[in-house]
Amino acid sequence: MKKRNQMIVLLTFILGTLSIILPLFLFQVISLPAKPLDIALWAGFGIMWIVMINEGLNWIKNGKRSEWSDLVVIIFLFITVYLVSKNLFNSFIGAFSIYLIFGVYEMKDYEILNKVVLITVITYNMIFFAGIIGDILEANEIIENGSVWGDTAFSLSFWVMLILGFAFFGRKYLVVFRFMSPTYLTLAVYLIAWGLITTVAKLGPQDLEEMIMNSIYFALIISNVIIYVFSGPLLDLLMGYKKTDDPRLVKIVEETAIKMKMDPKKIKIRYAKYPILNAMAYGAFFNMHMAIISPEIDTIPEDELKGVVAHELGHLKGLHTFWLNIISSLQILIFYFLKWPVTMYDYTFAPDSQPFPLWVFLLLNVVMSVFIYIFVRDFEAHADKAARDAGYAHELAKGLYNLESFYATSHEIGLDATLLSNEIETENNKMLNYISTASYLNKNLINPKKGTLLSNLINSHPPSYHRIMASYNETPISCMRESLMPFTFLKKYKANQFLIETEQARQKYIQMTTEKVKKRFKITDVKDVLTILKKKEELSFKIGQTYVYQNLITKKRIFGRIEDIEYVDSITEPIRYKVKVLQGDKTKEYITINPSQNLEVSVNIGEIYPYRKEESLLRLKEIRLEEVYQKSEKKPKKETPSYLFLNTGVLVFERLGDHESEVKKPIFNEIVPKSYQYIEQFKEKDIFMKEKGSFKRLLLENYELNENKEFVLQLKDPESNSTFEAKKENYIFKYSELYFPIHNDETSFESERKFVQHLQEQQIRCYVILKKAVNAEIDAIITKIEFKIDEKSEIEQIHKIWVKSIFEEEMELEISKIDVIGLISPNLILQKKSNISGFSNLINKIIQWRHPEKILI
């Protein structure tokens, strides 16, 4: 957008808001706020209005929006809608629905993502505007309870998303969304139940209406029975499962059923073609169904399918759907005695009798789900146990690994956009997904992240990595323990104890993944693949750097310098560091470090560190690997095994200019910021200045910490051959990957041309990421560029590029189809503080507080 148009947009916003708000106050349509909440809201509105103007000025100055402008818009819209509606729930929905309208336009070139966003926009706006209409009708006393409009729209939103998903993607929209298919069936029958009860109540005598409406609890219990009894044919219809007589599939199910001591004649076998390999057991105990899902019926790996089928048969054998039905009915009875709503439809058909708003009901449901899903995960663990007891432990582990590889880009989300595309994934990209999935599962076994664990609290299945460990572990892991792991492993020590306990099982997993991938992709030695993928080149920046390592299994700690990087024949843990030990066991000797099993902290004695809470800079003078950190020597904490695990290992600093001082910091229980000298690795290399929504290439000639303790970079502009200084007080420095956005507009033509030309001339390896879901990321070098003159601006722009991938594939790509181009190695990115909006500066400070190793302000 041209600067003139940007100024018009900003002025329209300023004048528009003032012309609306001021008259409302002057003519007393809106009274001056008196209540504390109203005062706080209007103060928030005023602050965010100023922030919006600041973002607008930054937009005009730089030509592009700031990286956090979207969040500013959402907050402003939320406060604005809440001031008008005083409806917390509708304000959240409204803020996102209005914002996403613009998102649909911005995503117009993304084949799958655009449709997903469009489904969300339509659904959210339906809820939002229904809520607004309800508020207006209530304000004008046309109806008594206006919230019923928004609540009804929300209760129907599930169906709107389903219908739109079917319209855009067909049945696979439902199938590839993990764990959701039975939910639709349940909600459908609940909706019918509510419709019947309401109709009978309205047609019956007035004095019986309340009694009939109260019978909804028992009607929903009856609905559960109906769902259970008829779930077999209903799910066949909903999911498109068809009867199959394929002898191979029938044989697999029959053999597995016999091993599990079940009668195969009682199991109805179904098949459906979708882009994942999975199986599903459903139906009542007298009408058992087994559906097999795969991309192609002829390419199903038999052993993996047996493991998945055995798990599903475990559900049928254990009558798990029956017991889940009982649990659901008991929940309804509890809600009956509490007089709480059971479903979202309660707010549609009986809005005046609900004890609390819909948003409270939704929060309560999340809390209830966290509790109920413990038992659901217990059933899943029991189904796994049944498969293991029948001799399918290895097959189940392989099947779980295979299934996770289909969700390689969205393990926690459960909906992978690549599965919604009609484009076929290349064999090379399938291999990369298997490799990344093996690493993902292994990382979560070794050192699970809290975010990942929390996401599993409302997941019906235990995490696949825990299920795989239970499959391979020689000592049985109790099913209830497995279902509680997302809770218990929030304590790092508990997770680490499980890692040590199941180390032998983890080694079996590592062996399985390597054998699986080698067989699937006809690989003789994984090291050959790693050479093609140039993994050593990606990690070469570490060579010569010093680190403290703590092995999470043996607890051994060493301080050393990486001398070389080596490959091993493993898909899951393919990298080894050759490290010269500078401190610890075997000092001055060379040892091999497996980075997957070690915590790693970048430090070096003599370097200067900017700890945020310290008044002065700190120079590292000593590393004490075996000392236990105590924050207060006067009140030392008890050195329990858990405390020792997190706090053994101390960095000893001196304050700059005070050699007698001593400041201690833990090595592993507190994030260590990057030292000023860390920047040495970028010396005489390209770094990047972020400006005007793009990046300018610079050369770092030198750096220093001067007498005034100012950190200064000496930089050179390769284009003009001029030099200048960048002081920390005027710039922020970020250590991160660089992704160069391809805007493909006249304001960015020149910067895009210079960047891409530099990559081609220097033959720099990069990631080219396309605006599509499948085969979107290309690891390549740019071999050729074709230019054209833009008709509107008459500026030379890139039209096409030719790339050669690491797999020696040559491709021709239109620049308009490219989203971003990323560099492989870590980069130093500068940004002038005066070019950053106030809100972005605030966010950067929060990031520095949480992740001081990523940003220096």
pLDDT, tens digit, for every residue of 421-434?
888 889 999 999 99
pLDDT average, residue stretch 193-210: 63
What H or E segment, with its residue span, contains residue 582? strand 575-583
Burial of 794 (0-12, 13-18, 19+ CB in 10 A): exposed
- Residue 558 pLDDT more than 90? yes
SS3 of 475-505: the string is: CCCCHHHHHHHHHHCCCHHHHHHHHHHCHHH
Instruction: Report how far residue 776's alpha carbon sits from residue 536's, in angstroms, rounded to the nearest whole number.
Output: 23
Task: Write out the two tokens for 478.
Answer: 């109790």
pTM for the full model?
Answer: 0.89
pLDDT average, residue stretch 626-644: 87
Give the count of beta carbons closer than 10 Å to the beta carbon of residue 205.
Answer: 9
Cβ partners under 8 Å of residue 647, min gap 6: 628, 629, 630, 666, 668, 669
pLDDT average, residue stretch 760-781: 92
Instruction: Report how far residue 250's alpha carbon sits from residue 245's, in angstroms, rounded to the nearest whole number.
Output: 7
- Residue 174 pLDDT more than 80? no
Task: Write out the two tokens for 291.
Answer: 């559906």
Out of 185-194, 297-306, 742-751, least confident range = 185-194
Answer yes or no: are the C-beta atoms of 656 and 709 closer than 8 Å: yes
**DSSP symbol at 105:** H
Instruction: Report how far residue 309's alpha carbon sits from residue 272's, in angstroms, rounded to the nearest whole number.
Output: 14
Answer yes or no: are the C-beta atoms of 769 and 821 closer than 8 Å: yes
pLDDT at 296: 79
pLDDT average, residue stretch 35-63: 89
The structure tokens 């990382």 sit at 443
Per-residue model confidence as pLDDT tens digits over 78-102 = 999 888 888 888 899 999 988 888 8
Q: Which of 208-212, 246-250, 721-725 has the highest mean pLDDT?
A: 721-725
Which pLDDT band holds residue 176 (cuts at 50, 70, 90)? Answer: low
Answer yes or no: are the C-beta atoms of 755 and 821 closer than 8 Å: yes
pLDDT at 411: 61
Answer yes or no: are the C-beta atoms of 833 and 732 closer than 8 Å: yes
Per-residue model confidence as pLDDT tens digits over 655-679 = 988 888 899 999 999 999 999 999 9
Structure-model confidence comparison of residues 314 and 824, the more confident one: 314
pLDDT average, residue stretch 209-221: 74
- Residue 179 pLDDT more than 50? no
Which pLDDT band holds residue 184 (cuts at 50, 70, 90)? Answer: low
- Residue 600 pLDDT more than 50? yes
Task: Quote the mean pLDDT of the chain.
Answer: 87
- Residue 792 pLDDT more than 80? no
590 CA to centre of own chain: 38
Answer yes or no: are the C-beta atoms of 81 and 94 closer than 8 Å: yes
Cβ partners under 8 Å of residue 102, min gap 6: none
Q: Which of 282-291, 527-536, 632-641 has the highest mean pLDDT?
A: 527-536
Would residue 301 be called left, alpha or beta, if left means φ above 0 and alpha means ψ between -120 and 50 degrees?
beta
pLDDT at 354: 85
CA torsion 151-155-160-163 (nearest 10°) is -170
- Residue 483 pLDDT more than 50? yes
pLDDT at 579: 95
